[in-house]
Amino acid sequence: MSSRSKRKYAGLALVVAAASAVSIVSFNARSADRTGRYSIHVLVSLVIGAVALVLSVAAGSIVALSVFLVSIAMAGALAYDGPFWASASRAVPVALAGGAMGLINALGNLGGFVGPSVGGFLQDASGGSFLSTAVVLAIALVLGGLIMLTLRRQADKPALPEPEAAAASARPRTAASQRTGASRDR
């Protein structure tokens, strides 16, 4: 097989991985919105990504299985995104949301530097094996999911108001309250 042909198949494998990730990301986001259990959806997707990542490296000699597992790992590692940001915006007061989102992005950028550096070090230390790097990355994914569980009470708050509050706001207003802009309950 020529070098050009190998690159073509490698590119095709990446397209398959990305296409499968899109459908799983969408499913996870819809499911999290439906149930309101954002932290659980983050944890499950990160654990699936972690397990599939380690298995894909362990099954490296079986190319089709490895590509399939990389697709699952990619989907799991990306599927946390929607539920995570939805829960992050609910976990902090509105006045602090901008700063909190900036801090989260700064820590993510720091991880974008530290992760490859640690991965390269581990790969060199293990004689070129990627398994130790995959295990460390998988541990980081699982720890991220477990940290989300600590935010469960704040992050899993429903986005919609309670039924009683919604019913109270839907009550008809009197003519006097319509002129003054006040509701009957105030």
Evaluate whether 71 touches 21 at the Cβ level (below 8 Å): yes
Per-residue DSSP letters for 47-87? Answer: HHHHHHHHHHHHTTTSHHHHHHHHHHHHHHHHHTHHHHHHH
How far is the C-alpha of 184 from the C-alpha of 32, rounded, in Å?
36
The tens-digit pLDDT sequence of the chain (186 residues) is 677 777 777 778 778 778 888 889 999 999 998 988 888 999 999 999 999 999 999 998 888 888 889 889 999 989 999 899 888 888 888 888 889 999 999 998 998 999 899 999 999 998 888 899 999 999 999 999 998 888 766 666 655 555 554 555 555 555 555 555 554 444
CA-to-CA dists, residue 87 to 29, 40, 42, 167, 175, angstroms: 11, 11, 9, 25, 40
- Which residues 6+ apart lie within 8 Å of 86 measured at CB? 32, 33, 38, 159
Tokens of 169: 């706001």
Evaluate whether 155 touches 87 at the Cβ level (below 8 Å): yes
How far is the C-alpha of 184 from the C-alpha of 4, rounded, in Å?
74
Which amino acid appears at position 80 of this protein? Answer: Y
Evaluate whether 79 touches 24 at the Cβ level (below 8 Å): yes
The confidence score (pLDDT) of residue 106 equals 94
How far is the C-alpha of 62 from the C-alpha of 56, rounded, in Å?
9
The residue ranges of every structural domain in the chain are: 3-157
The confidence score (pLDDT) of residue 14 equals 78
Number of Cβ atoms within 10 Å of the Cβ of 113: 9
**pTM (2 decimals)?**
0.74
